[in-house]
Structure 1
Amino acid sequence: MLDRFLLPVVKSGLQPVAAALARHGVGADSLTVTGFVIGVCAVPALALQFYGFALVAILVGRLFDALDGAVARLNGPTERGAFLDITLDFAFYGCIPLGFALADPARNALPAAVLLSAFMGTGSSFLAFAVIAAKRGLTSEVYPQKGIYYLTGLTEGAETIAALALMCVFPQSFALIAYVFAAACLVTTLTRLRQGWVAFGGPSEPTTRAVPTNEEA
């Protein structure tokens, strides 16, 4: 929901750093992998209840994730880069609830499982829409620069990062935050299902038209 407003600001702020990295031969794919490795370091930190370290790992990992897109736009985006980026993004998001479940299985296992189930809904609806959109030659008006079709929703990258950060700051409230965010993810999944139902109801001939956003549908 907030990504469309925050991404231009983040892109502008990171442009000088991305330009310096590109000049020194740093590739977008290496930033993607590095960011993922740093991000998943939060899992053992969470399991050991080092919540401050986990928060730093999450935020630094996401910083690298933002930089990889900026570098890719300078060097030229690739399909491999788009594939790697979205795959590792979803893998990272799924790892964080696991860390909280390991930290306190008695209290956190159930809300972590609920949140992971909600992530499955948002992730599968996002990727399934992208597959059919690519088959039909559809483009996104909101995120035309992305390597695959980015479907909007109530819970996007910014909201997910904010929720994960809140969990690290208030670990005693993990269950409450997880349930609330899972409910928001359910809303996202339902709205995306509606968008897919509307967008893919007609013939499957390839087109170049843009799918209306959730607000327009």
Structure 2
Amino acid sequence: MLDKYITPIIKPLLTPVVILLHKRAITADQLTVVGFLIGLLSLPLLAFGYWYAALVTIVLNRIFDGLDGALARYSKQSSSAGGYLDITLDFLFYAAVPFGFILANPEQNAIAGALLLATFMGTGSSFLAFAIAAERFKIDRPQFKYKSFYYLNGLTEGTETIALFIAFCIWPQNFVLLATLFAIACAITIFTRIYGGYHTLKQQEAKANGALNDA
């Protein structure tokens, strides 16, 4: 929900760093992998209760995630392969954080963490499945033209998810409450994406079939 507002603010802030990285011949894919590995460190840190150390790795992961796309566009090396690598590792990172809290306190956090992971699967699948069909119909993405593939909006997007992870690390004692509330928000996102995505694709199919009949 907030991504379309936050991204235009962050992009200019990354430009000086992107220029420096480009001069040093660093590639966007390298940033993607390094950022993922840094983010993955949050899993053991969370499992052992090092909340603020985990928070640092989460924030660094998100900085790298912003830099890799910006670098790809600046160096004119944006590609479907790079977009695929980026989104795949992003979802693995998103799953690692709740899992870290489950390991930290299975008795208290397991059910809420499992619920959150289940809804993450729903938001991710509804997001990516629509992107595949949207590419087939060449549906415009006016709010996210810089992305490698179609971004279907929702109540819970990247900005909200990272805000949640930060809240987890600052108030780990409230993990169950925060995870449950966010899972409910994710469920709303899943419903709206499936409903909106289905009807959008039905309309596109009807237009395509009408164009064929006219021909």
What does 1:104-183 correspond to in 2, within 5 Å? 104-183=105-184
- Following superposition, the deviation at residue 202 of structure 1 comes to 3.3
The superposition leaves residues 65-96 of structure 1 with CA deviations (integer Å, 9 ceiling, x where unpaired) of 00001101111201111000111111110111
Structure 1-normalised TM-score?
A: 0.93
* Contact kept in structure 1, 2:29 and 2:82, CA below 8 Å: yes
Structure 2-normalised TM-score?
A: 0.94
Aligned partners of 2:156, 2:205: CA distance in 1, in Å? 28
Aligned partners of 1:78, 1:203: CA distance in 2, in Å? 25
Q: Which residue does 1:57 correspond to in 2? A: 57
Q: Which residue does 1:101 correspond to in 2? A: 102
* Contact kept in structure 2, 1:108 and 1:174, CA below 8 Å: yes
Q: Which residue does 2:44 correspond to in 1? A: 44
Q: Which residue does 2:85 correspond to in 1? A: 84
Aligned partners of 2:126, 2:53: CA distance in 1, in Å? 32
- Following superposition, the deviation at residue 205 of structure 1 comes to 7.9
Aligned partners of 2:167, 2:22: CA distance in 1, in Å? 33
Root-mean-square deviation (CA, aligned residues, Å) is: 1.3
Structure 1 residues 205 and 81: CA distance shift in structure 2, 3 A = farther
User: Which runs of 5 or more structure 2 residues have no equivalent in the other structure?
Assistant: 209-215
Amino acid at match of 2:68: D
Q: Which residue does 2:32 correspond to in 1? A: 32
Aligned partners of 1:135, 1:205: CA distance in 2, in Å? 14
* Contact kept in structure 2, 1:137 and 1:206, CA below 8 Å: no
Any runs of at least 4 consecutive aligned residues in structure 1 with deviations exceeding 3 A, and if so which?
202-207
For the residue of structure 1 that corresponds to 2:202, the secondary structure is coil
- Following superposition, the deviation at residue 102 of structure 1 comes to 0.3
* Contact kept in structure 2, 1:136 and 1:205, CA below 8 Å: no
* Contact kept in structure 2, 1:135 and 1:206, CA below 8 Å: no
Aligned partners of 1:3, 1:196: CA distance in 2, in Å? 19
* Contact kept in structure 1, 2:137 and 2:204, CA below 8 Å: no
User: Which runs of 5 or more structure 1 residues have no equivalent in the other structure?
Assistant: 208-217
Q: What is the aligned-residue identity percentage?
A: 46
Aligned partners of 1:180, 1:140: CA distance in 2, in Å? 29
The superposition leaves residues 127-176 of structure 1 with CA deviations (integer Å, 9 ceiling, x where unpaired) of 00001001111121110110010111111110000001100110000000
- Following superposition, the deviation at residue 196 of structure 1 comes to 1.1
- Following superposition, the deviation at residue 204 of structure 1 comes to 3.2
